[in-house]
Chains A and B, each alone.
Chain A
């Protein structure tokens, strides 16, 4: 199985030791214990755009959750120097990142092993995490020879489940007026507010949202990871 994955995705590139360690760890990872026994890495990326073929990650921010408490002292934040950035794109880029910051930042291949070590052995949590994973795995394949195997949890999906639970009827899930935007959800739930569009701040915001949802879902009745899966049965696992 391992070999197959390698052959398909690595394009012959040697697999980085940190990634090998990642694969080894998750090969025998028990996902059924109590939620507060696991570690979570809540992360967010800033991108140059949404086109996975062309656009790139310019910043990663992440923070740990352990024993269902946010551990702000363990965080990860870096800017990343993009390769195909065109100046006009740079101007419109995003938000508060200046060209200067990016030019002085390391390339993604320098950052990835550190990030792998940071999130080693943890669940990955993100808001609309599919998008972040798409970019992350693309970079991983290109530079480290494969994808990572951490199981992922999407807070947006959790928020949808929570909303359905609160309203108790399924018609509302077809109400497209509702915003599942991170900022809007945080405001609606009365969470402390963070600066949007900064990877680390968004990671914090997502961490608060995650903690909120995990403890509010099923009126606080979720105790094991299995409960959490069941709550969001229709999740699409990244693997």
Chain B
């Protein structure tokens, strides 16, 4: 910005250039083009309630870009009936369609906030459309899409760049990484029946066939058994050499999964022998590759079940995002998704603890693995921290008690280590089964809850909320259920305790006004971002928890709790539906936000930038937040001195 004697007005209007750089399709222009364009723009201000366009009357002379504020678009028919069409906020346009169609304003446009707009002359806008195909694409596309969009469709379309993560896997994984076991072989002289028996025993679909010198000469697969034996009525005592495919198609251990898949497709075989240093180290099947590529939850389900060591479980949870993405693309709601994640994580836990039990020997007394917090509520998204605990049977036998203490202490610690390696980060608050405090016999747990409920300390209650969302995860589930029954019984009777929870519920203020004073984080790493979890999701969770404890409801899932509350006539049907919709939308927004971060290689978090949202999302989000106010009002009624 140096002074130029010949032209003191040379400074390009930075404010406009910066703004245009952030919005489609202007961000596709070169810096020079943007600087030139910026000089053409003027800035106008419209107080709230200004009618910028009047339907069928206003000659549209400019394209309006909303810099700050918001407008509503509506139609008014001959009888004066008003139909609201859309809201537009910062970074969106008005006037494009009438300019392109060379018609008068097709809608009424009225500001709903004090609004600043950048104005671009009609002629200049038409010039851009002529010059840049991207502009045409953008504006034509947005017209047709506006007709069909709903909040959910919009979430899917705007927030998820189409990308198939599975194809990345295919291009990076080598076949040697797909081999789970040593190659299983059978002598060429052995009978078909013994081959079938061996395959059945080992739960495998193929055997390599050795000749007398130990060389691999062929392969038999379960398809051979079907097509060559059963279908043709071949004797079971015939040698396998009669039905084997020979020679075996081989690939190097370094072959990429993608190339292996191509080989299979080209040669029409489903099994490839993997060779390393002249030795066959295993067999890779089409199924192995499909598991890698395919993202159906079913595949992962089977994969978890078939794993035979704890270490084999480690990489599985990395595939969860791929599955979730596919589900999201197929239109799944957050509720379906958290359920899938819960099932998969429960399954991993079950497999892991079973294998660990096999390794450490049977436990001295029965136990139950408890899941807390979001796991307890079955509301996990991606990479949720571990929140768990362990509860075991009481015993009068001192020796047995000591033995149990030692066993579960070691068991808890090891389980946590493995879970960390499976991709479930440690709980920063150390609420995990590895912590001696949270690995206790039943009576101790009972006392913990009695202390919290009957003699509540405000600070402790705040830290203990996640315990109230526990559910039995694995082991002797009855232990967990009994504890839940006990809690339900005492919690509904102790109002002081409920008051403490109520106070917590009212502490979070929902962000209310929208286009402007969105309550965002004021400083730190997440400055100007909205904490979707704390400000949006937690209030619903807190509300459902308190109300469930109040009414002795044993459910832990927030949506199920809300439903149970409605069924028990503790909340109105209207409030239930509003809360359900709002909560699901917030969860959905969070899932998609986290999905995107994961795909960008970042850690998933809960901080969204309100500026990144489309107008419809903002509008829906605003509705969702307004529900929080209604929930809090109910709590204020029930616990009048809570604040």
Contact = CB atoms under 8 A, between A and B. Distances in A.
A146 B67 CA distance: 41
Contacts of B114: 189-190, 212, 216
A73 interface: yes
Main SS at interface, chain A: mixed
Nearest to B50: A220
Contacts of B16: 72
Contacts of B437: none
Given A72-B42, A212-B45, A191 B116 contact: yes
Contacts of B69: 190
A79 B3 CA distance: 7
A72 B517 contact: no
A208 B67 CA distance: 12
B8 A118 contact: yes
B41 interface: yes
Nearest to B48: A216
B45 A215 contact: yes
Interface string B17-35: 0000000000000000000
A76 B38 CA distance: 15
B9 A75 contact: yes
A97 to B, nearest CB: 11
Interface string A198-226: 00100010011001100110001000000
B8 A204 contact: no
Contact of B68 (A71, A74, A77, A192): A192
B15 A192 contact: yes
A137 interface: no
A105 B41 CA distance: 29
Nearest to B90: A192
B45 A208 contact: yes
Interface in A39-80: 66, 68-79
A70 B42 contact: yes
Interface string B60-81: 0000000111000000000000
Contact of A75 (B11, B42, B44): B11
A78 B16 CA distance: 19
A212 B46 CA distance: 8
Contacts of A74: 9
Contacts of A73: 9, 13, 38-42
Interface string A87-110: 000000000000000001110001
Contacts of A194: 15
B122 to A, nearest CB: 15
A114 B15 CA distance: 24
B119 interface: yes
Given A71-B42, A75-B11, A215-B47, A106 B5 contact: yes
A192 B3 contact: no
A111 interface: yes
A204 B113 CA distance: 21
A221 to B, nearest CB: 11
B147 interface: no
Contact of A72 (B38, B45, B46, B47): B38
A110 B5 contact: yes
B148 interface: no
Given A190-B517, A208-B116, A220-B47, A72 B8 contact: no
B44 A111 contact: no
B120 to A, nearest CB: 12
B231 interface: no
Nearest to A189: B114
Contacts of B5: 106, 110, 114
A118 B3 CA distance: 14
Find the residue from A72, A78, A194, A212 having the highest chain B CB count within 10 A.
A72
B68 A190 contact: yes
Nearest to B68: A192
A71 B38 CA distance: 10
B43 A69 contact: yes
A197 to B, nearest CB: 14
Contacts of A204: 15
Contacts of B9: 73-76, 118
A111 B40 CA distance: 25
A73 to B, nearest CB: 3
Contacts of A190: 68-69, 113-114, 516-517
B1 interface: yes
A72 B116 contact: no
A105 B5 CA distance: 11
Interface in B591-622: none
A19 to B, nearest CB: 17
B3 A106 contact: yes
A208 B5 CA distance: 27
Contact of B1 (A77, A111, A189, A220): A77
Contacts of A111: 3
Contacts of A79: 3
Contact of B44 (A68, A76, A106): A68
A72 B3 contact: no
Interface in B161-186: none
A191 B67 CA distance: 10
Contacts of A69: 42-44, 119
Interface string B94-118: 0000000000000000000110100
Interface string B79-98: 00000000000000000000
B485 to A, nearest CB: 53
A72 B67 CA distance: 14
B265 to A, nearest CB: 57
B298 to A, nearest CB: 51
A198 B1 CA distance: 11
A156 B119 CA distance: 27
Contacts of B1: 77, 200
Contact of B11 (A70, A110, A200): A200
A72 B516 contact: no
Contacts of A200: 1, 11
A106 B5 CA distance: 9
Contacts of B2: 104
29 contacts: A68-B44, A69-B119, A70-B44, A71-B42, A72-B42, A73-B13, A73-B39, A74-B9, A76-B8, A76-B9, A77-B11, A78-B3, A79-B3, A104-B2, A105-B3, A106-B3, A110-B5, A114-B8, A190-B69, A191-B116, A192-B15, A192-B67, A192-B116, A194-B15, A204-B15, A208-B45, A212-B114, A215-B45, A215-B46
Given A72-B13, A73-B42, A77-B11, 20 more contacts: A69-B42, A69-B119, A72-B16, A73-B9, A73-B13, A73-B38, A73-B41, A76-B8, A76-B9, A79-B3, A104-B2, A114-B5, A118-B9, A190-B69, A192-B15, A200-B1, A211-B44, A215-B46, A215-B47, A220-B50
Interface of B: 1-3, 5, 8-9, 11, 13, 15-16, 38-47, 50, 67-69, 113-114, 116, 119, 516-517
Closest 5 CB pairs of A and B: A72-B13, A73-B39, A70-B43, A78-B3, A69-B42
